[in-house]
Structure 1
Amino acid sequence: MKNSLLLILVFLLLASCGTLSRKRNSQTASYQSTDIEETSKNASPKLVVGIVVDQMRFDYLTRFKSRYGNGGFNRLIENGFQLTNNHYNFVPTYTAPGHASIYTGTSPMNHGIIGNNWYDKFENKVIYNASDNDYESVGSSNDDGKMSPRRMLTTTVTDQLELHTQGKAKVIGVSIKDRGAILPAGHAADAAYWFEGGDAGNFISSTFYMQELPQWVKDFNALKKADDYLSSWNTMYPIESYVASGTDRNAFEKPPRGKETAVFPYDLNKLRSQNGNYSLIKSTPYGNSIVADFAIEALKKESLGKDAITDFLAISFSSTDYIGHQYGVNSIEIEDTYLRLDQEIERLLMTLDQEVGKSNYTVFLTADHGAVNNPAYLQSNRINAGYFDRAAFRDQLEEALKSQYGSVDLISNISNGQIFLKRDTILKNNLSAKAVEDFIAYTIIDYKHIDKVYTRNALMSGAMQDGTGKLIQNGFHHKRSGDVIYVLEPAVISYSKTGSTHGSSQSYDTHVPLLFYGNGIKKGSSNARTEIIDIAPTISSLLGISFPNGATGNPIKEIFNK
């Protein structure tokens, strides 16, 4: 009896242990399953694609929304996260400072790219933001490839990705413009490619990145795709359907050379000989098309997003800027360009779905600046606007300085709304730099169309708390910027009477789109204010890497799905 009871107890104990063991195994499996699910959910994307649309105002998303398809801009808006109140936090709002700020997470006061071109007081000449005579062109027989990002003083998010992965990440920049490819790609990039116009019609690079173009780039160039695009440009849809824009025939647009009026259609094959041959493609929607072609080829041939290490493809669509400058914000040409760009973005996203996988990539889309409506057009609608004559301004200022200080020449350069003084001449004549700055400020504030003035002394000695002064200070680099900064009235530009431009602190230049989509990004939208310098810290947070070393922006936490 005792033996029988003992056997029963042993059996029950073993059964109990087995049940407990199975529960533990089941719980462990459950935890492992959850961990795997969370790891999959929270894994870094295999590829980040940064898209910058040159001169894209925020309202191009809303103005043309009903005409966009479901697979381009609207796919990003409806299935990603949109920040509707995104602004530049500095001036000047130009291409080079814009691209640099997007990718460094800071403003020109730190990264040093204060313009597309600026006066270098040490070299006593105007310099280009990416020019670098220490390097040679690759794929070109001229100087279009003598470029590098070395004037950008801080790192980019792309640099930090390369550092984090010990150079195993692949980073490539692509654009029509050299600066649109070089500055986003950063210092440690594998490659940056841009389009050489003229009689070449090729994508080229610099010895900063490589000694020879990869074979796939040579093969792409050999196809001469630009010839296929340079046939004709007519509207995608019946021209009467373009009701979101002004009339086709008006006085506010500049026609290409060889055409009397800026009206559709454009015979590109006929016009190319008078408009720089292959350079003509830049000011047509097909400049965006060939950039999309090249970016997709880079994606495939470089096997981007094919392994566990995150890669980065930085794309800048620049033809929107050329077209905006020539035809203006309110033109049918701009509307047609964005309808076509919408299709190119759809094509890019579909390729990413196929090549990388829908859940394996993250995209952000923004712009390097906006643009002002043509002032003559605004005036025709009784809105305050105008034109500023820089040459007459300089003559007037020099006369005032001559009256105050005699025949001493005190001005080195006036550009980008900045007045550079001859510091050595000021010292030689025992003048006070502060006194000269103050005299200029008090004098020019009375000039027509000048709205505000800031001196070097004021910008360096105190912190501007808000408004235009804060934007000026964020764009002011202590070593590289000028001595007096002037701001024009709203909608007043120094430009031709046709087309549009940008560069100001006004919302039409600072307010730009910001969309995030894909891996790690939830669906939604917010009208809380964000700034362009928040993009790089946001992507850095998504990837779990260090912020760029000069970053002053903050991660946009609400976009994350984790």
Structure 2
Amino acid sequence: MKFAAIAALVTAAAALSPAMGQEQTAAEAGADTAPPRLVVAISVDQLSADIFAQHRQDFTGGFARLLSGVVFPSGYQAHAATETCPGHSTILTGNHPAHTGIIANHWFDMNLERDEPSMYCAEDTSVPGSTAEEYTVSPRTLLVPTLGDLMKAANPASRVVAVAGKDRSAVMMGGHDADQMFWPGESGFTTFADREAPASLAEINAMVATAATSDRQPLPMPEACTAYYRAIPAGDNQSVGTHLFARGPGGGRAILTTPEGDVLTLNLAADLVSEMELGQGEATDLLAISLASTDYIGHAYGTEGAEMCVQLMALDAMLGDFFARLDARGIDYVAVLTADHGGLDLPERQQIQGAPDATRLLPGFETLNERLAAETGLEAPLLRFSGPFGDFYVDRSVPEERRAEVRDRAIAMISAHPQVHRVFAREEIAAQPMPSGPPESWSTLDRLRASFNPERSGDFLVVLNPRVTPSPVALPGRYVATHGSVWDYDRRVPILFWWPGAAHFEQPLGVMTVDIMPTLASLIDLDVSQASIDGHCLDLMPGAETNCPAVPAPSSP
């Protein structure tokens, strides 16, 4: 789809999209008894259950198609570390971050033999000279197999392809043995150095080059978005709420922070389906797609303005076009769509829209190391941390006999901060059993336990109060809002399944993203009973029929 076509698709809400027409034809044909030949797993980065519910009545394209299938509108990324890398690691592994090992986007490894112990979640730390900023992309940190890995182990003829707007998203969904994997690089989409590039890659990168050297006019605003078009002061003489994605030349983040980023990602995915003839072989293939523009836009402009509304209307149209391309090829496929985490709007807008307690981070964390050094007489830094919440590590320079003292002093200092909900020592988290039961009833400690990996997690973890945005200043167009907390606005995500002939129902129970992998496995007759997974199969068949394998009865004593 060309970028210019977005405007027409966004404003065509009243018309039946080609995708919806194809959907009716496929549904009339009825479901095939054979397993589908293609699994399409889509993650929309930062698509919270809240904003999805807010706009769902206005969808007419791809989202509307998915809403005609099996709908879990209030699913959960159940763990505490609601960031991109941990969230993506749950979707196709069936495991919480405690078991995937992906505890954050970045963490600290005090055993790394390099000056800076910070590491990136998709980094190959064995490469000489690697750092958390300049790294070789790799799935080495992922401790468990993905659905694609298990598919290829069962039948090497299965192909696995991942296309994403971020490298970490591609790796966490594509897994260890993907045939092709693509993410944005310096001059377009890129892949591993040892992979032969398909023709589709050159074609899409030509589009990226054109986009990077072109001006873009404002997108038209659908009628459904007019109520959100309101300027909200944020930062120094700036505002959010009325930006409609006009821009001058520029690549990278300038493209990704507009609907055009998702257009390019979906175009590449659809082109690869055609070039590789995915879904048209004897074995079932997997196409994993992660769409990043919703996240970039949420960070840059917040979640409750015209920017997010226009993005979701555009994405709805793009997904409709993408599904129509699959339909045109006659592919028998099953699709699932979810998100890696939710998100929170910027506090400046929340405060005037019914949430007066919303606020930005107060001072204190930026001087933490200096205050600790003054108290202990040791040289800073004594702590390593990526931000004011999550994992904190006592630095490896601290003498062993003083590590407990430094940790206890740090916990006391941080606990005194007025915006800190609580600080949890690693021993308390480790002693907590892995949680079970409905994720909406999990305690804060349960949520932390689902993210805790004893080999990678910090010496203590910090939880901020609800609705505290952990950046002290707003930078409109770059960073005004975020996610990452233990609170439900960051945990709740939609989970939608669709295939031709799927009987529609909606279930508001708090199912989890770790349930997606075993559910997809059941739909393609893949036995995962021997895999160690946290999720369970969701029954998508209303009535007596079920897609889930029988659970063996417990043996008699």
**TM-score bracket, shorter-length normalisation:** 0.7 to 0.9
Distance 1:386 1:261, change over 3 A: closer
Matched residue SS, 1:451: strand
Query: Hey, what does 1:151 align to over in structure 2?
Result: 141
Distance 1:369 1:111 in 2: 16
1:422 to 385, 388, 395: 395
Query: Hey, what does 2:191 align to over in structure 1?
Result: 205
Distance 1:265 1:42 in 2: 46
Query: Hey, what does 1:18 align to over in structure 2?
Result: none
Percent identity (aligned): 28
Aligned residues of 1:52 and 1:317 also touching (Cα < 8 A) = yes
Distance 1:81 1:253, change over 3 A: farther
Residue 558 of structure 1 deviates from its aligned partner by: 3.9
Query: Hey, what does 1:245 align to over in structure 2?
Result: 228
TM-score computed with the length of structure 2 as normaliser: 0.81
Query: Hey, what does 2:449 align to over in structure 1?
Result: 473
Distance 1:133 1:442 in 2: 34
Residue 194 of structure 1 deviates from its aligned partner by: 1.2
Distance 1:40 1:464, change over 3 A: closer
Matched AA of 1:216:
S
Distance 2:522 2:97 in 1: 22
Would you say 1:344 and 2:318 are equivalent positions? yes
Would you say 1:517 and 2:498 are equivalent positions? yes
Q: Point out the more displaced range, 149-158 or 114-123.
A: 114-123
Query: Hey, what does 2:65 align to over in structure 1?
Result: 75
Distance 1:386 1:559 in 2: 44
Residue 241 of structure 1 deviates from its aligned partner by: 5.0
Distance 1:156 1:519 in 2: 25
Matched AA of 1:148:
S
Distance 2:91 2:235 in 1: 30
Aligned residues of 1:73 and 1:342 also touching (Cα < 8 A) = yes
Distance 1:205 1:410, change over 3 A: closer
Distance 1:307 1:152 in 2: 29
Distance 1:379 1:223 in 2: 41
The one-character-per-residue Cα deviations of 1:181-218 (angstroms, maximum 9, x if unpaired) are: 12111101101011224xx2x221013xx433123322
Matched AA of 1:185:
G
Query: Hey, what does 1:449 align to over in structure 2?
Result: 419
Query: Hey, what does 2:359 align to over in structure 1?
Result: 386
Would you say 1:364 and 2:336 are equivalent positions? yes
Matched residue SS, 1:195: strand
Would you say 1:43 and 2:29 are equivalent positions? no
Aligned residues of 2:242 and 2:305 also touching (Cα < 8 A) = no
Query: Hey, what does 2:90 align to over in structure 1?
Result: 101
1:188 to 167, 177, 180: 177
Distance 1:355 1:369, change over 3 A: same
Query: Hey, what does 2:48 align to over in structure 1?
Result: 57
Would you say 1:440 and 2:410 are equivalent positions? yes
RMSD, aligned α-carbons: 2.9
Matched AA of 2:507:
S
Matched residue SS, 2:335: strand
Would you say 1:494 and 2:444 are equivalent positions? no
Aligned residues of 2:160 and 2:287 also touching (Cα < 8 A) = yes
Distance 2:316 2:384 in 1: 41
Please show how residues 113-132 of structure 1 align to structure 2 within 5 Å. 113-123=102-112, 124-132=116-124
Query: Hey, what does 2:539 align to over in structure 1?
Result: 557
Aligned residues of 1:83 and 1:527 also touching (Cα < 8 A) = yes
Matched AA of 1:158:
G
Query: Hey, what does 1:23 align to over in structure 2?
Result: none
Distance 1:109 1:186 in 2: 17
Distance 1:277 1:457, change over 3 A: same
Residue 478 of structure 1 deviates from its aligned partner by: 0.5
Distance 2:44 2:244 in 1: 24
Matched AA of 1:362:
V
Distance 1:254 1:108 in 2: 38
The one-character-per-residue Cα deviations of 1:143-183 (angstroms, maximum 9, x if unpaired) are: 98831111111111111111111x21011000121112121
Residue 236 of structure 1 deviates from its aligned partner by: 2.9
Residue 58 of structure 1 deviates from its aligned partner by: 1.0
Matched AA of 1:61:
F
Distance 1:549 1:400 in 2: 45
Unaligned runs of 5+ in 1: 1-38, 137-142
TM-score computed with the length of structure 1 as normaliser: 0.81
How many correspondences in the alignment? 493
The one-character-per-residue Cα deviations of 1:262-311 (angstroms, maximum 9, x if unpaired) are: 7445442xx33xxx534411111111111111111011001001123100
